Structure 1
């Protein structure tokens, strides 16, 4: 990720369709987003942030993160989203998911990668299962959506299970 990506992220984070299933943060001004991006910390074992770009043209379309990793547990949590709506369903999310998981297992020497997904987000669950993630459990009414609460599903992938 680069500081000049701030404007794109600000646009995505202010699009109700893009953030529909994401944890809601307080609104952030464009200036605050630019400051945050100017101060991005370098990737480390505990927090690795990657841009998702198109193959042709290298256009920024999303991001993925492996976070909260520790060598003692060899486990990390994964976040991913495609912010450019015209790229939804194009396969970039699946490819990025496989790539970041392969990086986590090979380069970071992780044993387990976990994620949380809103139970009604069937498209995301389908992609996660396609690359080998399995359902571990359910956290009831853990995500506040617009007007109501939703269950969260915990999914994980162990090294050797990536398909």
Structure 2
């Protein structure tokens, strides 16, 4: 494992590095990937990804590369954004950029590792996120870890020619339940 920070049974999380831009920028141009993300429809370049990584504020953002323990493949990114140490909450984001690895539990484990870090290391009280209602795989992942639906913004985003609801989710520290194994 190269520079592991949070380690699970299937994946480990390491700090995102500027060199990762060479891989992750291509994910963001993959239609299957970007249609689930807020940054959809914006062409991405390696330079743009590098600028994003360089611009992260370590006091407000902790972003990690998701790497498979077996084979050391870099398959995604996840992070806590807008970390608020006073009100003790943050916003979670995740992307499994290699679509061939969707549905294998890597995202669920990464979300669980990140939430454990949020609650046990950063002493946060709550982790929030939003997801498109069409992202059923993501919504199942969040529910497995204990996220609760807190609201819905009807027809909030325009995705591929139609209006889609945005689902607002939250996880309190006391409701966190890491999935088994």
Q: 1:66 to 1:21 in 2, by over 3 A?
A: same
Q: 1:99 to 1:144 in 2, by over 3 A?
A: same
> Could you tell me the TM-score, scaled by structure 1's length?
0.92
Tell me the alpha carbon deviations over residues 103-162 of structure 1, each in whole angstroms, 9 at most, x when there is no partner.
Answer: 000111100001101112111111111110000000112122111121100011000211
Contact 2:156/2:165 (8 A) holds in 1: yes
Residue 99 of structure 1 and its aligned partner are, at CA, apart by: 0.2
State the alpha-carbon separation in 2 of the partners of residues 98 and 15 from structure 1: 25
State the alpha-carbon separation in 1 of the partners of residues 141 and 52 from structure 2: 30
Give the match for residue 117 of structure 1: 131
Query: Matched residue pairs, number?
Result: 161
Residue 57 of structure 1 and its aligned partner are, at CA, apart by: 2.4
Instruction: Give the unaligned 5+ runs of structure 1.
Output: none
State the alpha-carbon separation in 2 of the partners of residues 135 and 60 from structure 1: 30
State the alpha-carbon separation in 1 of the partners of residues 47 and 92 from structure 2: 27
State the alpha-carbon separation in 2 of the partners of residues 75 and 34 from structure 1: 27
Runs of 4+ in 1 over 2 A off after TM superposition: 28-37, 39-44
Instruction: Give the unaligned 5+ runs of structure 2.
Output: 1-15
> Could you tell me the TM-score, scaled by structure 2's length?
0.83
What RMSD in Å do the two structures reach over aligned CA positions?
1.5
State the alpha-carbon separation in 1 of the partners of residues 89 and 79 from structure 2: 13
